[in-house]
Structure 1
Amino acid sequence: MRIVAAGVSGFIGSRLVAALRERGDEVVTLVRRPPGGPSEVRWDPDGGEFDAAVLDGADAVINLCGAGVGDHRWTDSYRDTILSSRVRPTALLAGACVERGVPALVNASAVGYYGHRGDERLDELAPAGTSFLAGVCVRWERAAAPAADGGVRVVHLRTGLVLGRGEGLLGQLDTVIRLGAGGRLGDGRQWCPWISIEDEVAAIVHLVDTPVAGAVNLSAPEPVRNAELVRAIGRALHRPTPWIVPGVALHLVVGAFADEILHGQRAVPVALEESGYRFRRPELADALRAELG
């Protein structure tokens, strides 16, 4: 297959590109810096700079673009960055897929789509929430609508908490717990819809190949509460996790993002499992052993 991929410089994208190339796919990556070789093409989605001819002959486009939601405090300016870094590339690629006749657009989204829903079990038919990130996800997915309207198979990857060594939430908790300062966040009852990096990558590859369209939750079959996630990481590292990080302390450190940390989504992968995907690491303890050794 010939695949064009954007936003793949991070730990999910880099592993995804490696997996696709390992199985023999031709992968062209869109980059914002000067290209480093024939498999890279420069683009600037903020300025609308993109030669859509790169999509000619592509079997699928994968778009994982988006600024990290936890990378900076949520000033008004950074909230705009979180939104625009997702919507602009998606809109540009959606239109180009129709123009160039690309059969499939596999586009990132997040379980944040569902907002703060307590213990409600959330499959892909659940409505959007009302939080800031829920609003971002709604507009993000809506930006791909022109592709779906134009006959392109569009998949929205509603990804949960991806567990990978040294990366994302696991990387942060790993360091803290190794230092003996680990503990639950707030009351620890918020749901954490986790997924191993192995399954995240394998599921995306599966969705490139499988005629599925619409929203797909990328999370393991059994989400856990934050307190259990922290305890499980502690067990994998053979370290105690006795502490409690109060919500007020989180707000002081990370600002408004604390509201997302202290609430969760009990998301379940109904569409993914119905599509025939079988999880490599469905159990949290096994997923953590694979990453933390």
Structure 2
Amino acid sequence: MKILMTGGTGLIGRHLVPRLQALKHDVTVVTRSPDKARQLLGNDVGIWKGLSEHQNLDGFDAVINLAGEPIADKRWTEQQKQRLCDSRWNITQKLVDLFHASETPPSVLISGSAAGYYGDLGEVVVTEEEPPHNEFTHKLCARWEQIACGAQSDRTRVCLLRTGVVLAPKGGILAKMMPVFKLGLGGPIGNGRQYLAWIHVDDMINAIIWLLDNDLRGPFNMVSPYPVRNEQFAHALGHALKRPAILRAPATAVRLIMGESSVLVLGGQRALPKRLEAAGFAFRWYDLEEALGDVVG
């Protein structure tokens, strides 16, 4: 299969590309930094420096769209919110335009989204059918998904990845948390009762490949079947690092530091992968402590 990918140098992309290559797929990555991409992904990956100089997607069998500025790296000023939106919406629209310009468009578009699509629903068990709260993360993801669905036709199916917190070595949330926890200064955030929908990076990669290979479409919660509360996650990470995890971060302090983006850690989703499991996908990592032990180890 010939695959075009955006976001190939991100946390998920740099794990996905070598797996696809091991399965003998031909991968081309869209990137603004070809040298960085080759350094991270090797010389066997194809490179497109942007999409503007290309007229269509003829010759590709699939597109995987993972591009987007990290959502938690900066405070959400109005300017930063617009950057977060533009970095997702604009490239997705360009891809959809290329689908429409193709005589033989790729048969599948797998496009990023996030569990934040649902907003903060507290104790509610969240499946793909759950109506969302109308927060910034929902507006960001809903428009992102709407644009991606513009590629859908009788020749192209669209899958949407409503991804939770991805547990992986050298990146993502753990890269931010582990230095603090290694010093024994970690612990629950706020009251610790908010749910965290997580997924081991191996299951994330396997699920994307599953969606490539099976005739499925629509939204999929890319999360473990067993979401945990924030206090459980803190305890499990401390246990994996053999450090105490009892120093609670007060909600007021978190809001002061993070501003509106504090909803990412003070809120959460009790999300379940209903549609993935119904389709027959088998998770490898169900237990959080085992998953963290594998990633940290």
What is the TM-score of this pair, normalised by structure 2?
0.93
Match of 1:152 in 2: 156
Contact 1:98–1:150 (CA under 8 A) maintained in structure 2: no
Q: Which runs of 5+ in 1 are unaligned?
A: none
Other structure's SS at 1:189 match: coil
Q: 1:129 aligns with which of 133, 139, 143?
A: 133
Match of 2:92 in 1: 90
Q: 2:178 aligns with which of 168, 174, 177?
A: 174
Match of 1:78 in 2: 80
- Of 82-91 and 149-158, more deviation after overlay is shown by 149-158
Contact 1:6–1:65 (CA under 8 A) maintained in structure 2: yes
Tell me how far 1:94 sits from its aligned partner.
1.6
Other structure's SS at 1:144 match: helix
For 2:59 and 2:54, locate their aligned partners in 1 and report how far apart those are by CA, in whole Å.
14
Count of matched residue positions in the alignment of Structure 1 and Structure 2: 288
Contact 1:117–1:264 (CA under 8 A) maintained in structure 2: yes
Match of 1:252 in 2: 256
CA deviation profile, 1:226-270 (whole Å, cap 9, x unmatched): 000010011111111111101111122222111221000010001
For 2:210 and 2:168, locate their aligned partners in 1 and report how far apart those are by CA, in whole Å.
19
CA deviation profile, 1:123-155 (whole Å, cap 9, x unmatched): 111123211011100100011122115642000
For 1:34 and 1:215, locate their aligned partners in 2 and report how far apart those are by CA, in whole Å.
31
Contact 1:98–1:152 (CA under 8 A) maintained in structure 2: no
For 1:271 and 1:127, locate their aligned partners in 2 and report how far apart those are by CA, in whole Å.
16
Match of 2:59 in 1: 57
Other structure's SS at 1:184 match: coil
For 1:60 and 1:72, locate their aligned partners in 2 and report how far apart those are by CA, in whole Å.
32
For 2:191 and 2:146, locate their aligned partners in 1 and report how far apart those are by CA, in whole Å.
34
Tell me how far 1:279 sits from its aligned partner.
0.6
For 2:279 and 2:53, locate their aligned partners in 1 and report how far apart those are by CA, in whole Å.
33
Match of 2:187 in 1: 183
Other structure's SS at 1:244 match: coil
- Of 251-260 and 189-198, more deviation after overlay is shown by 251-260
Give the CA RMSD over aligned residues: 1.5
Other structure's SS at 2:134 match: coil
What is the TM-score of this pair, normalised by structure 1?
0.94
Q: Which runs of 5+ in 2 are unaligned?
A: none
Match of 1:291 in 2: 295
Letter in 2 for 1:277: F
CA deviation profile, 1:91-119 (whole Å, cap 9, x unmatched): 11122123321110000000000001011
For 1:109 and 1:159, locate their aligned partners in 2 and report how far apart those are by CA, in whole Å.
6
Q: Identity over aligned residues, as a percent?
A: 36
